[in-house]
Amino acid sequence: MKLQRMNRRAIALGAIAASSALVLTACGSDDTSDGGDSSASATGAASSIKCDDAKGQLLSDGSSAQKNAIDAWVAQFSKQCGVQINYKAGGSGAGVTSFTQGQLAFAGSDSALKPEEVTASKKVCSGGQGIDLPMVGGPIAVGYNLSGVDNLVLDAKTLAQIFDSKITKWNDQAIQKLNPDAKLPDLKIQAFHRSDESGTTDNFTKYLKATDPADWKYSGGKAWQAKGGQSAAQSSGVAAQVKQTNGAIGYFELSYVADGMKAVSINTGASAPVAPSSDAASKAIADAKIVGTGKDLSLELNYATKADGAYPITLVTYEIACDKGNKADTLPATKAFLRYIASEDGQGMLTDLKYAPMPADIIAKVRTTIEGLS
């Protein structure tokens, strides 16, 4: 088991390093892994990929949350099958819009399709509709950059007030109470949020709304609604701003926490604060329920969990595809790629990339649904 995990880590890191030559992206990746010599392991992973009749090029766009996972998957799949996949990572909102306009083979979104989006998808999915396939899980980390503070605990109330510009200094009494041993500076808090429509925003604010409705009175959604703060595009943009700004805080996927940034541990009311990790996110996602109907597999997450070791601010990224009516020239490659990323090998790469694989019962249903795409 230990050797298998080491091989998967080598595959994942080597795949990201190679991805720049295999994937065309609209924004740069934050990943700088060198990957080392993983050619033997990568060959082993590639040999498990079934290309079938996959060929040509796939256009895709959407969630920047899953970009590091997509990059790693594309590197392996393209090497084996010769299919060029252009994943732009322009945000969930952009991806869903482009999909419903018939511009993409599949899209990525950190929020399930809304009823009006399903209706719009029927115009491009001849005889069918767009469906949600949960593929990538993970914690939404609250990253911060604060000199001299290596450990920070916040709860829903302090987070809601920070991101709504009601707590504006790091030495605020509410923060100090949660961190009695920390030397918090008299420094302005610079809170960063997403400027683009984002499923990460949707899930982050769903957590605030579910756990502290008294302080977070906004309706929620992919567009940021709170007052004040500063904004940046995509998860990589928010992370870059936090990384370079002392006193900054922002939300993005755990894979973007690096180079001097720290991640907040969340006081959920459990026996101890919970830090973001793949395992902690998996514990929360395991409590999710499938609420989609028909072939749709959208999930309902429990943001208010108080289970020990369960990190509450999680998201699930869906790959969105037509259940029926896919374009004949892209269907083989779309099915082959989705089949690979839902496979044991594809899901096995996620933990080392700081994501969470889908629970076994959920991914089993995803695999069955992919085989039925037409």
pLDDT of 28 strictly over 50: no
CA gap 158, 216 in Å, rounded = 11
Averaged over 40-59, what is the pLDDT? 74
Confidence of residue 45 (pLDDT cuts 50, 70, 90): low
Confidence of residue 47 (pLDDT cuts 50, 70, 90): low
pTM score of the predicted model: 0.78
Residue 341 CA to its chain's centroid (Å): 14
Mind listing the pLDDT tens digit for each residue in 192-217?
A: 999 999 999 999 999 999 999 999 99
* CATH classification code of 140-282: 3.40.190.10
Q: What angle do CA 233, 221, 317 make, to 5 degrees?
A: 70
Q: Residue 95: phi, psi to the nearest 5? A: -65, -45
CA gap 136, 118 in Å, rounded = 21
pLDDT of 157 strictly over 60: yes
User: What per-residue confidence (pLDDT) applies to 263?
Assistant: 98
Confidence of residue 162 (pLDDT cuts 50, 70, 90): very high
The proportion of the chain whose per-residue pLDDT surpasses 70, expressed as a percent, equals 87
**Residue ranges per domain, the chain?**
2-137+318-371, 140-282
- Looking only at the bridges linking them, the beta strands covering 299-300 and 106-109 are unpaired
Confidence of residue 136 (pLDDT cuts 50, 70, 90): very high
User: What per-residue confidence (pLDDT) applies to 33?
Assistant: 35
Averaged over 332-358, what is the pLDDT? 95
Averaged over 312-339, what is the pLDDT? 97
DSSP code of 290?
E
Structure tokens at 265: 């541990």
Mind listing the pLDDT tens digit for each residue in 297-309?
A: 999 999 999 999 9
Averaged over 76-91, what is the pLDDT? 95
Query: What is the three-class DSSP state of 368?
Result: helix
* CATH classification code of 2-137+318-371: 3.40.190.10
Averaged over 214-234, what is the pLDDT? 95
Residue located via tokens 């700088």: 32
User: What per-residue confidence (pLDDT) applies to 48?
Assistant: 74
Averaged over 273-284, what is the pLDDT? 94
User: What per-residue confidence (pLDDT) applies to 44?
Assistant: 46
pLDDT of 91 strictly over 70: yes
Confidence of residue 21 (pLDDT cuts 50, 70, 90): very low
pLDDT of 112 strictly over 90: yes
Averaged over 280-302, what is the pLDDT? 93
Asked whether the domain spanning 140-282 has the same topology as the one spanning 2-137+318-371, the reply is yes
User: What per-residue confidence (pLDDT) applies to 42?
Assistant: 47
The counts of H helices and E strands in the chain are 13, 13
Mind listing the pLDDT tens digit for each residue in 233-269?
A: 999 999 999 999 999 999 999 989 988 899 999 999 9
Contacts of 360 (CB under 8 A, 6+ apart): none
